[in-house]
A and B are shown apart, each in its own frame.
Chain A
Amino acid sequence: MRFSIIVIAGLALIGLFISVLPTPDVTTQPEENGEVNDLTIPASGSYLLTNITVFDGQQWHEEAGLAIQNGRVVSPTSLSDPTIVDGQGGFVIPGLIDSHTHSWGKALHQSLQFGVTTTLDMFTDNRFFLAKKSRRSALTATEEADLFSSGVLVTSAGGHGTEYGITIPTIASPDQAHDFVAERLAEGSDYIKIVYDAAADQAGHKGRFTSIDYDTLAAVIRAAHAQEALAVVHVMDLTSAEHAARAGADGLVHTFGGTPASDELIALMKSQDMFVIPTLSILASLAGEGRGQALIRDSVFSTHLAADVKHAIANDIASDRVAEDYFAVAIENTRRMQEAGIAVLAGTDAPNQGTAHGVSLHDELALLVDSGLSPTDALAAATYLPYLRFAVGERGHLRSGARADFIVLNEDPREDIRHTQHIRWIVKNGSQVAAYFESQKVTGETPTSGLVSQFTKDLTSQLGGQFVVSTDQMMQGNSTAEITHISQGCDNSGALAVNGTVGKQFPYPWSGVFLMFSESIDGGYNLSNFKRIVFDVAGTDGEFRFMVLTSQTGRPSEVSFSITGQCRQVSINLSDISGVDWASVTGIGWAAGKATPDFNFTLDNIYFE
């Protein structure tokens, strides 16, 4: 009897012990949003959103309503017998505007998923910009944010902006300013962005870029104003900022760390009614503040961040060339400009390392509040102030006539600016769009066997897809490669041979062979059942890279492996390659880099297992 009691008591104790062990946190986000997503917007596109608190860009309206018709906010009285949509006590803010981005690929889609309905790009490939520009006037349902852009920026030959592999025109002297600006505006630029570094021509300058001189800077700003365009300037230090202000710039697209802003600069900016886009997000990355990791680990976004977004923000630039107090000074400079009454606009510089479209703007708002802005000021910095300063049409406010771009939040952002992350619904052009936590996970075709190829007869891939040459020529580089089938591989049967050179023209050169699974970037293969890829390789001694392309990410994820003259088997754990959504892989590749200017290698017996 006593024995049984001991046994029962023991079991009860174990049960109790197990019950207090920690279980994974389930954040409230899915319950709050995804599962009870009962926003039903009538097909007519004409409705009255009620039971909400509205921030119209300037003021808060308690227990208000928002009347929408044909993709615009209208006066409630103009709707006869409107369909009522219950806002369930949500907090409505205008769709956010990111005033400093660089856009390509999925940028606009990604932005919109986080409620950023408009982005002000500060230099991108004109082909991308012009393709998107025409769409921004539409008021129909869309899955992308609206894009405004400076198009090509104004820089010197060899200056910042020329390093990205697209050939851009550059400016050398003040007398070219008028024509240069006219060409940009003719191309479609919405405003003029100038890159300026006052220290570039001084002895002992450490940077790798040249810069236009002060006279050219002043001439370009004058030319822009003469042609009724806004001129904004990229500066990264105090002297350059002072020069830009003296030259009459409309705004600075970064604040700076390192040196405190001088009183003269602040007075000059104030007297000329300049604005500043501090881009604290990118300065935080530069200083290695770990903001991205914090978003990944401990934010409302944590549970639903896509692999590519995590990849983008996981690692800061963390430059060792900036001082310990660099970021603290940047915050302080922002605070002093704000206190002096200089307009502070929210911008992120996404997708530079450590930042990503959409998600980083929410963090920028938090950083602005850290710099002394009230939560409402921070919201205005991402809505009404860009509306006032840039010619973005009726975007950034929610008064009658505005485009119906808005976010419904679950929590009041006046209490805590981070409540902008508690997104319930996103509406663009009057229609609901999928938020980041609702976006459909793309899952590609699942191959049955992991065998890629043994190259017995030719270069056919049993897994599917096709082996193709890939080099930086697509980025105007000059690397070359060719692939052939050879009969004597590692195991004396056929193999894939790659011969090539790596050029110096593109700063991040590559050359090699890719296995592309699909023609379209949206398809891809679901390789998530596999743990590793194994292949035999021999060739030029050195470090090579294995790369993975997914439908989500523009930039490939990569790991390095070494090749020797001896044929050997390389096994790479797929989990070691960060930032890959293995459910939709569009291609894999083997590439040489700078270290091996002349290379060859043979690949054989490639399989996933």
Chain B
Amino acid sequence: MNTSQPSPLSLFQRWDILRLETQTELTKTLRTPGFVIPSLAFPVMFYVFFGLLFNAMGGQPGHGAKYMMATYAVFGAIGPALFSFGADVATDKDKGILSLKRVSPMPISSYFAARIITAMLFALVIILSLFALGAAFGSVAMTRGQWIATLIIVLFGTLPFCAIGLFIGLSVSAKAAPAVVNLIYLPMAFLSGLWVPIQLFPSTLELAANIFPAYHLAQLALAIQGNDLGAPWYLHAGALAAFTVVFLGLSVKRFNAIDNRH
């Protein structure tokens, strides 16, 4: 058979493809209010209930609100990462869109990069809404460096969850994917101390939290305001990196095994 190899893409072309892919991905996501509204509203609503209303009851002003702002930012940010990859990739895979993208001249990395950017944009909106709420209603005050560091850490801390979501999306069917994601997302959020401070847990549960990447990300975010449990930051960062590498590796294996004969 005679196949003509496309000429290698220039950097500009790659950038342009990424931009287009991101735009379409974003448009597609925004046209799914069933995804947009819950993923934006849930963390904000939870934060109002648990972070702000509880905070109003006694204690140091702003202390509980500050703590919860970090953990709910993590909770909010990892949601879009898990769903955008977990559920959407599963759909694309089942519908054969993924296979189509693979055979198209577009570099497949653009497909993933566009998804990462979309997930991060969602995370950004959630984090900034929580910042605004905490500052306006929870008397949260942090130094400028702390605000920025929290934003950046949580934003880039979504990467391991993209990898986990990707693995789920490639592993299960489109029908099963949202259920599987929820099954992992919600218990992990609770057991990592994103909803209630981890200090309130029995020490065995506190120890068990180490198996969850969300715990490590939350500890990193809390370390910025000095409310972490005290383990060194590089352990948490290392754990997050390890999760990313492991799930990326697993995903590559899955990806290569996808049946492309749809």
Contact = CB atoms under 8 A, between A and B. Distances in A.
A573 B199 contact: yes
Contacts of B143: 23-24
B230 A14 contact: no
Interface in A13-53: 14, 17-19, 21-25
B128 A17 contact: yes
B229 to A, nearest CB: 6
Contact of B131 (A3, A21, A297): A21
Please indicate which of the listed interface residues A18, A534, A569 has the most CB atoms of chain B within 10 Å of its own CB: A18
A555 interface: no
B131 to A, nearest CB: 6
Interface string B123-155: 010001001100100011111100110010000
B19 interface: yes
A21 B203 contact: no
B131 A23 contact: no
Contact of A22 (B128, B141, B199, B229): B141
Please indicate which of the listed interface residues A14, A21, A23 has the most CB atoms of chain B within 10 Å of its own CB: A21
A569 B144 contact: no
Given A21-B131, A23-B142, A573-B199, A14 B124 contact: yes
B61 interface: yes
Given A3-B19, A23-B142, A17 B229 contact: no
Given A531-B229, A569-B203, A18 B147 contact: yes
Contacts of B128: 14, 17
Interface size of B as a range: 20 to 34
B207 to A, nearest CB: 11
Nearest to B199: A573
A589 B203 CA distance: 22
B141 A23 contact: yes
Interface string A544-577: 0000000000000000000000000101010100
A22 B199 CA distance: 27
Contacts of B135: 21-22
A543 B165 CA distance: 48
Contacts of A3: 19
A7 B20 CA distance: 14
Contacts of B151: 14, 18
Contacts of A21: 131, 135, 142, 144, 147
Nearest to B206: A571
Given A569-B203, A573-B199, A19 B131 contact: no
B144 A571 contact: no
B230 to A, nearest CB: 5
A218 B61 CA distance: 52
Interface string B180-219: 0000000000000000000100010000000000000000
A235 B203 CA distance: 52
A297 B124 contact: no
A22 to B, nearest CB: 4
Given A14-B128, A531-B229, A569-B203, A24 B141 contact: yes
Contact of A23 (B144, B199, B229): B144
Interface in A512-541: 529, 531, 534
Contacts of A534: 203
A18 B199 contact: no
B131 A17 contact: yes
A181 B128 CA distance: 72
A13 B61 CA distance: 28
Contacts of B61: 297
A25 B141 contact: yes
A575 B67 CA distance: 14
A297 B60 CA distance: 9
A531 B206 CA distance: 13
Nearest to B131: A21
B1 to A, nearest CB: 39
B197 to A, nearest CB: 10
A22 B230 CA distance: 26
Given A3-B19, A17-B128, A531-B229, A22 B140 contact: yes
Nearest to B202: A571
A409 B142 CA distance: 31
B147 to A, nearest CB: 5
B107 to A, nearest CB: 19
Nearest to B203: A571
Nearest to A531: B230
A606 B143 CA distance: 37
A138 B203 CA distance: 57
A382 B144 CA distance: 43
A23 B143 CA distance: 5
Contacts of B142: 21-24
A25 B140 CA distance: 11
Contacts of A23: 141-144
Nearest to A529: B230
Nearest to A573: B199
Contacts of B230: 529, 531
Contacts of A531: 229-230
Interface string B113-124: 000000000001
B189 to A, nearest CB: 22
Contacts of A569: 203
Contacts of A529: 230
Contacts of A297: 61
Given A17-B131, A24-B141, A25-B141, 14 more contacts: A14-B128, A14-B151, A17-B128, A18-B131, A18-B147, A18-B148, A21-B144, A21-B147, A22-B135, A22-B142, A297-B61, A531-B229, A531-B230, A569-B203
